[in-house]
Structure 1
Amino acid sequence: MSALRLTGAALGRLMREDKLSFLGLVILVLLILVGLLGPWLPLGDPTRIAAGPRLGPPSWAFPFGTDELGRSYLPRVVEGIRATFLLSIVAVSITAVIGSFFGMLAGYFRGMTDHLVARGADILFAFPAIIVGLLVAALMGPGQISAVAVISIATIPLFIRVVRSVTLSVAGRGFVTASEVAGATPWRVMIVHILPNIIGAVIVQLTYAMSIGMIIESTLSYLGLGVQPPQASLGSLLREGSAYLTIAPWLVLSAGIVLSLAIMSVNLVGDAIRDAIEPLKGRALS
């Protein structure tokens, strides 16, 4: 816990000094708040048909314009933010638990355990996310559960590789050896001694996996394999708007800009966390 408090203090200091990372944090917090509070904000009903003219341009009444059914696009984009963030967070959280567990197993026990886990991660890593999405959608059908499954499968190898590498370096330190000599069980060593020393790397990887998860979710929804109508995600809104790109480009621009801001903000926050944990390896502060 003391290491986490030190990391938190370093992160706060870095945010104050690094204006770009601070901007990313502000954008990320605003997007999450807007997505969570969207149903209670006075934005309108995202499913109300003929709320305005079909394919109407942005105006005071409809800041993001209207779609082909006359639905206000602003509440639909807010709904898309909530869906994209929620699915990515759920999937990456599941991945973090599973990937960290197997990564610690491989890094601590080594030998055959390390070989099996590493080869399994390599096999998963060899499959492109789109191919996995097609296979999962064929087995489970398109939808949110399929999107979560695909994101988890695609990001688990990344967690396993990172956690395994960090565990290998921590497992050889003196305090781990002293704990083993004192008779601590392998599970106690991993939970009490190794896990607190790798949690920083897990958090950094979590942020990067979050951005990857949003890209995968948006891609799946764009292809019709993720969130299904009438619900919206940023990817499905891009798919719907692409059909009217020449006559209503604001549909694609609004969803695309919001998605880009979300991914950029997550990556900037991830860079700040990395720099706080490894200041000598981080990028120069602006």
Structure 2
Amino acid sequence: MFSIFGRIDRLSRFGFGLLVFLILLGLIGPYLPLGDPMRIGAGPRLSSPSWLFPFGTDELGRSFLPRVVDGIRATFLLSAVAVIITAIIGTLLGMVAGFFGGVADQVVARGADILFSFPAILAGLLIAAVMGPGQISAIAVISVATLPLFIRVVRSVTLGLASRGFIVAAQVAGASPWRVMIVHILPNIIGAVIVQLTYALSIGMIIESALSFLGLGGQAPYASLGSLLRQGSAYLTFAPWLVLSSGAVLSAAIMAVNLTGDAVRDALEPLKGRSLT
């Protein structure tokens, strides 16, 4: 573990530390003395940041800091659930396409191209029209947007492994195709999957925030960073701290995820990682 971190540059370490801090803040936020995010009239309406209310208050007099902390947890959790589900499905489909080839490869690859052609916002409008706005719709949209990325990456890596000697030897020894994929191919592509998962998480957070900003994500009293941005945008001219605080936290979270993805990539590619430091 320490040798891996020794190959990571300082900026990536900062991103990893920031990501850990934000995740821990989101998880333990309800147990910290930050105030009740749902308490109406905790302070003056739309008051500016102060020692008592570091992020100010919203239009109902609720302290905005605990609401932002709730938003961190909601955005991370929803995006992570969607991306993990997508990673499992995309890895399976990518291995099937790359290993079997032929009709299976054509069907999976063309299906990924079709999904890739849909803009995330358009897919969100279509899914929300069918399923209604909410967290399930947001998970579906994130899955539709990130699934082609997983399929393409896993398919490409699997194609490069399918003709390797140890794969051919396993097939000659009588191993079934599924055993070959699970026992021999999956361990060799897991690094690429993890790297893609980190980048897909940042994409998922952007999509979730955009959907919530448009009112297609989680609904009140559910709070995410995107819904807090939408809430603050109505008072931007005389209470800009609502947008600035939630927007800054969202930007920091996405930056931290991307920097962590770079760190994971450099750790899995030592030569490339040393050339960048």
TM-score by length of 2: 0.98
Matched, 1:183 2:174: yes
Once superposed, what is the RMSD of the aligned Cα atoms?
1.1
Preserved contact between residue 144 and residue 226 of structure 1 (Cα < 8 Å)? yes
Match of 1:266 among 252, 257, 265: 257
Structure 1 position 172, deviation (Å): 1.2
2:117 aligns with: 126
In structure 2, the CA distance between the partners of 1:101 and 1:9, relative to structure 1 (3 Å rule), is farther
Gaps of 5+ in 2: none
**Secondary structure of residue in 2 paired with 1:280:** helix
- Aligned equivalents of 1:75, 1:125: Cα separation in 2: 37
Matched, 1:45 2:36: yes
- Aligned equivalents of 1:50, 1:224: Cα separation in 2: 25
1:79 aligns with: 70
Matched, 1:200 2:191: yes
Match of 2:5 among 12, 15, 18: 12
Matched, 1:237 2:228: yes
- For 1:12, the aligned partner's letter is F
- For 1:29, the aligned partner's letter is V
Matched, 1:106 2:97: yes
Preserved contact between residue 11 and residue 272 of structure 1 (Cα < 8 Å)? no
Matched, 1:56 2:47: yes
1:254 aligns with: 245
Preserved contact between residue 7 and residue 270 of structure 2 (Cα < 8 Å)? no
Preserved contact between residue 95 and residue 152 of structure 1 (Cα < 8 Å)? yes
1:25 aligns with: 16
Q: Deviations over 1:5-38 (max 9, x none)?
A: xxx56532223xx110110011000000010111
1:153 aligns with: 144
- Aligned equivalents of 2:4, 2:228: Cα separation in 1: 35
- Aligned equivalents of 1:219, 1:76: Cα separation in 2: 18
Identity, % of aligned positions: 74
- Aligned equivalents of 2:171, 2:275: Cα separation in 1: 40
- For 1:162, the aligned partner's letter is V
- Aligned equivalents of 1:156, 1:11: Cα separation in 2: 29
- For 1:245, the aligned partner's letter is L
Structure 1 position 170, deviation (Å): 1.1
- Aligned equivalents of 1:61, 1:284: Cα separation in 2: 47
- Aligned equivalents of 1:154, 1:10: Cα separation in 2: 35
2:202 aligns with: 211
Preserved contact between residue 86 and residue 146 of structure 2 (Cα < 8 Å)? yes
Preserved contact between residue 15 and residue 255 of structure 2 (Cα < 8 Å)? yes
Gaps of 5+ in 1: 1-7
Q: Deviations over 1:185-214 (max 9, x none)?
A: 000000000000000000000000000000
Q: Deviations over 1:149-185 (max 9, x none)?
A: 1101110000000000000111111000000111110
Preserved contact between residue 125 and residue 154 of structure 1 (Cα < 8 Å)? yes
Preserved contact between residue 10 and residue 276 of structure 1 (Cα < 8 Å)? no
Q: Deviations over 1:194-239 (max 9, x none)?
A: 0000000000000000000000000000000001111210000000
- Aligned equivalents of 2:214, 2:4: Cα separation in 1: 38
**Secondary structure of residue in 2 paired with 1:70:** coil
In structure 2, the CA distance between the partners of 1:70 and 1:284, relative to structure 1 (3 Å rule), is farther
Preserved contact between residue 41 and residue 61 of structure 2 (Cα < 8 Å)? yes
